[in-house]
């Protein structure tokens, strides 16, 4: 059985292999995510160079997210059939030339087209998730997938590395260095990862059989959850550097550093979310994640406002709005919530679909990735239309409302969310 690995009777060698797979896969995913989020930083000088509108900038940053999302379903299914080691290695190898070519792009359509191929790196999530999960028993899969998912911190790594290269050498150096890093990571992954034929889906299982579970309405609900905790994370990781530059007039290096206060906990703490999901259940963690996100987004939505009151002593003007410190603190808290939520959604999947993790994680990952594609474009369109930067948070506030209402009617009314006795039912 796929989930029988690492049972009590497994050898120390088997245990070492499992942890080696987890660590090297997490490294690979971190690098892939760093590449996937590249436009979040280099897109700013490109926007200036090409004189792009906010909507065009949103499309530019979102283009890699599109392909990285669309390939998640087939990649998850191929992982079930052929194994995560070979699928991950081939995927990383394909992206290297595209990353390098990015440095030679000069026209808007060049960036959009090459971005589609660079975006394949984002599909690595639906490869590594079932790959690492099957090396661990069910009661530790949430933790394992949480550790692997911490590779989302590649978004923060991008914000540390890219601005330094950009300021020192220009934006064209960034894709060249990233291509070299991807190639080196590919070599390390191949040397320290392993394959287990027992983890493959039987060859007599048809493609349609693997997708049959997608008719389950629970899968659609998980897609909705993930579209905010992952899609929102991706969208804000791409959007925040230019938001800081435009809203607070910061230098790009300072803006990237502050934006990392959201991206870093939003990636690294996913592992803790996995542990909490194993202990308290996916439902309990996700419920509180949505409420914390709702509160943060409500506060972040309020635009910078000056209003005047006529008093007995004449007009008095007041200012309401978040300063850069309060804004960054709220973004950090939102990042923590999203990190826990990303892990808890996939705990739902490992609990409900233990024999079909690849296909289900692929479709849920697709929904999350498409959220990360659509949201930056909508952020730009709303800003062009309203002129209000915080309209991005207003939009996400509405999406969280949908998740909260859906969860209340399908889960909360039947379950005491904090009762550990219900953990096994989630």
Q: How would you write the pLDDT of the chain (426 residues) with one tens digit per residue?
A: 344 444 444 678 778 888 999 999 999 999 999 999 999 999 999 999 999 999 999 999 999 999 988 888 788 778 888 888 999 999 999 999 999 999 999 999 999 999 999 999 988 988 988 899 888 887 777 778 878 888 888 888 999 999 999 989 999 999 999 999 999 999 999 999 988 777 776 545 555 655 666 677 888 888 889 999 989 988 998 899 999 999 999 998 999 999 999 988 887 787 788 888 888 888 889 899 999 999 999 999 988 888 889 988 888 988 888 899 999 999 999 999 998 998 888 888 878 777 777 677 777 878 888 898 999 999 999 999 999 999 999 999 999 998 888 888 877 765 544 454 444 444
Residue 288 maps to a domain:
yes
For residue 198, tell me if it sits in a domain.
no
pLDDT recorded at residue 143 = 79
Closest CA to 109 of 45, 60, 43: 60
| pLDDT score of 174 | 95
Task: Give pairs for 389-392: CB < 8 Å, separation 24+.
Answer: 389/243, 389/246, 389/247, 389/303, 390/300, 390/301, 390/302, 390/303, 390/304, 391/301, 391/303, 392/235, 392/236, 392/239, 392/243
Domains in the chain: how many in total? 1
Q: Does 199 fall in a domain?
A: no
Per the domain annotation, does 7 fall within a domain?
no
What pTM value is reported for the model? Answer: 0.80
Q: What is the pLDDT of residue 79?
A: 86
Q: 111: domain range?
A: 18-193+208-425
Predicted local confidence at residue 71, as pLDDT: 86
Assess if residue 48 is contained within a domain: yes
Report yes or no on 312 lying in a domain.
Answer: yes
What's the confidence (pLDDT) of residue 413? 62
- Quick one: pLDDT at residue 184? 96
CA angle 86, 344, 259 (to 5 degrees): 85
For residue 246, the domain's CATH number is 1.20.1250.20
Tell me if 13 is assigned to some domain: no
């Amino acid at each position: 059985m796929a989930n029988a690995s690492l049972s009590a009777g497994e050898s120390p060698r088997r245990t070492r292999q499992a942890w080696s797979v987890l660590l090297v896969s997490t490294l690979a995913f971190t690098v892939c995510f760093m590449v996937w989020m590249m436009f979040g930083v280099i897109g700013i000088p490109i926007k200036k160079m090409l004189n792009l509108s906010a909507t065009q900038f949103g499309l530019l940053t979102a283009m890699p997210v599109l392909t990285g999302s669309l390939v998640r379903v087939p990649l998850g299914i191929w992982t079930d059939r052929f194994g995560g080691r070979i699928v991950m290695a081939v995927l990383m190898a394909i992206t290297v030339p595209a990353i390098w070519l990015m440095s030679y792009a000069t026209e808007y359509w060049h960036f959009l087209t090459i971005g589609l191929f660079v975006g394949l790196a984002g599909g690595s999530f639906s490869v590594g998730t079932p790959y690492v999960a099957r090396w661990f028993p069910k009661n530790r899969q949430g933790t394992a997938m949480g550790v692997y998912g911490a590779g989302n911190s590649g978004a923060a790594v991008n914000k540390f590395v890219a601005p330094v290269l950009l300021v020192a050498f220009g934006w064209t150096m960034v894709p060249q260095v990233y291509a070299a890093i991807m190639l080196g990571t590919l070599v390390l992954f191949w040397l320290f990862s392993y394959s287990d034929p027992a983890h493959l889906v039987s060859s007599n299982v048809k493609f349609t059989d693997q997708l049959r579970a997608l008719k389950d309405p629970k899968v659609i609900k998980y897609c909705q959850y993930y579209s905010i905790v992952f899609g929102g994370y991706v969208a804000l990781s791409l959007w925040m550097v230019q938001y800081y530059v435009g809203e607070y007039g910061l230098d790009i290096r300072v803006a990237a550093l502050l934006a990392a206060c959201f991206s870093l906990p939003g990636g690294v703490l996913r592992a803790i979310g996995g542990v909490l999901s194993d202990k308290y259940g996916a439902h309990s963690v996700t419920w509180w994640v949505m409420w914390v996100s709702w509160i943060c987004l409500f506060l972040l939505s309020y635009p910078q406002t000056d209003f005047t009151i006529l008093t007995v002593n004449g007009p008095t003007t007041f200012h309401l709005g978040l300063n850069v410190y309060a804004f960054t603190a709220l973004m950090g808290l939102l990042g923590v919530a999203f990190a826990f939520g990303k892990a808890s959604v996939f705990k739902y999947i490992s609990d409900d679909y233990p024999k079909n993790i690849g296909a289900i994680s692929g479709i849920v990952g697709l929904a999350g990735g498409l959220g990360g594609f659509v949201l930056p474009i909508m952020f730009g369109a709303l800003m062009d239309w309203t002129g209000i930067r915080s309209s991005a948070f207003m939009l996400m506030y509405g999406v969280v409302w949908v998740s909260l209402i859906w969860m209340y009617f399908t889960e909360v009314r039947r379950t005491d969310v904090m009762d550990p006795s219900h953990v096994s039912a989630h």
